[in-house]
Amino acid sequence: MLKNNFPPGTRVRLRFTGETGIVTDRLSDDMVQIRLDNDPDFIIPAFEDDIVADTVLSSVAPAWAAAREKKPEPPARRVVKSQYHILKPKGLQLAFEPMPGRDESVSRYKVWLINDTPFEFLMEFDLFTTGRDVIILDEKIAASSAYELGDFLSDDLNDAPEVFISVQRISTEGTSQPVEAGLRIKAKQFFNSFQTASIINVAAYHFVLLNSFEPKPATPGQDLKSYTMQNRSKTRSAGNSRPHKAFDPEDFAHFEPEIDLHIQALMNGYARLDKGEILRIQMQHFHRFIDRAIRLGASRVFVIHGVGEGKLKDAIADSLRGNPHVKKFKNEYHHKYGYGATEVVLQD
């Protein structure tokens, strides 16, 4: 039986970002589709557990009234304090708690940051993929506690998720020098890390981020934070980044050097979308594909866009022209694709 708390037309607010919008469709038992107020051309999926009815704004409220309303604050993060003394602390840890749906399948994970040490920290944290920033925060973390950070989707495992963390220990003498760590999460590694996480006492996919908090001597060259932030920004704006070659030969071996951007090849339920929404989705997949090809060090790829009205082909060409990692591209007749694909040659 459907939960159906948010039928189409309901005004809602996202718990973690405070953004508001209107439910346009139901995608599954526990997921709906939302058109955001701050970007009416953009429709996003959202789990019902992550939204609340927005009673502040109504769909018929005049624009001037909406502009005067104060944006609701997102709810505070859940914090769990340890009820016992931890004899052998592991350090700062990341736990991904599976959140099964009604059919018991898992499409998302609740992300927890666990500090089982007796120390308090100032922390900078970033979990990101080639497609999006998942979680970014800059907070104080109490000793012997666990913090709920947000949601991580199963699909994010396919987009090379990475973590950057920088902490400063707080003491009566002030704060220590920053200690940094980075983590690349691979799917096989992820699913082999299932265990009971301390403090929250639930079975989760678990990683230790930091177990030593003594600053390491500076080394020549680029520091970890600069490298990680550069790598993250590469996925947003190719003009301000430098490519790096494949760090995972297995990932490179399974990389398909072509992508079919016909909407029926990308998703189901596309008949409900208008042309603008379809183009946006196609370009999102295109950007992820090109970013991954650059990251893995691919030399040549094909982007299948069809002929049609040419809007998708033109949008792809505009993006490629501004990408410094692209040596050249062409849309000429090909024995396999006809005129429906663009060949892209990437910089060595």
- From the CB of residue 178, how many other CB atoms can be counted at a distance below 10 Å? 17
pLDDT at 265 over 50: yes
Answer with the residue of higher pLDDT: 160 or 63.
Answer: 160
pLDDT in tens, 280-295: 888 888 998 998 888 8
pLDDT of res. 224:
53
pLDDT of res. 240:
35
Q: Are strands 162-171 and 51-53 parallel, antiparallel or unpaired?
A: unpaired
- Pick from 3-7, 240-244, 315-319 the range whose average pLDDT is largest: 315-319
- pLDDT category, 41, cuts 50, 70, 90? low
Q: State mean pLDDT over 168-187.
A: 87
CATH architecture of 238-346: 2-Layer Sandwich (3.30)
Query: Distance between CA 87 and CA 94 in Å, rounded?
Result: 19
- From the CB of residue 211, how many other CB atoms can be counted at a distance below 10 Å? 12
Answer with the residue of higher pLDDT: 20 or 227.
Answer: 20
Q: State mean pLDDT over 33-57.
A: 76
Answer with the residue of higher pLDDT: 275 or 243.
Answer: 275
- pLDDT category, 250, cuts 50, 70, 90? low
Which residue bears the tokens 């995608």? Answer: 27
CATH architecture of 79-234: Sandwich (2.60)
Q: How far is CA 326 from CA 66, 169, 231, 340, in A?
A: 44, 43, 17, 19
Q: Name 52's Cβ contacts closer than 8 Å, sequence gap at least 6.
A: 12, 13, 15
pLDDT at 140 over 60: yes
CA angle in degrees (0–180, nearest 5) for 227-204-288: 40
pLDDT in tens, 313-343: 999 999 998 888 899 999 888 888 888 999 9
pLDDT of res. 228:
54
pLDDT of res. 229:
53
pLDDT of res. 238:
39
Share of the chain above pLDDT 70, in %: 80
pLDDT of res. 234:
46
pLDDT in tens, 52-72: 887 654 444 444 344 444 444
pLDDT of res. 2:
43
pLDDT at 244 over 50: no
pLDDT at 114 over 50: yes
Q: State mean pLDDT over 250-255.
A: 70
What one-character-per-residue DSSP string does 20-49 give?
EEEEEEEEETTEEEEEETT-TT-EEEEEGG
Closest CA to 225 of 123, 120, 142, 324: 123
Helices 311-321 and 275-296: crossing angle, nearest 10°? 40
- For the chain, the C-alpha Rg in angstroms (whole number) is 23
Helices 275-296 and 224-234: crossing angle, nearest 10°? 140
pLDDT of res. 173:
80
Total-model pTM: 0.48
Q: State mean pLDDT over 152-174.
A: 88
Is the domain covering 11-68 a CATH 2.70.98 domain?
Answer: no
Across the beta sheet with 20-28, what order do the strands follow? 43-47, 31-36, 20-28, 11-14, 51-53
- Domain boundaries of the chain, sorted by first residue: 11-68, 79-234, 238-346
pLDDT at 261 over 90: yes
pLDDT of res. 57:
46
Q: State mean pLDDT over 142-161.
A: 90
Query: Distance between CA 297 and CA 234 in Å, rounded?
Result: 14
- Pick from 18-27, 41-50, 177-186 the range whose average pLDDT is largest: 177-186
Answer with the residue of higher pLDDT: 261 or 337.
Answer: 261
pLDDT at 205 over 90: yes
CATH topology identical between 11-68 and 79-234: no
One-letter amino acid for residue 345 of the chain = V
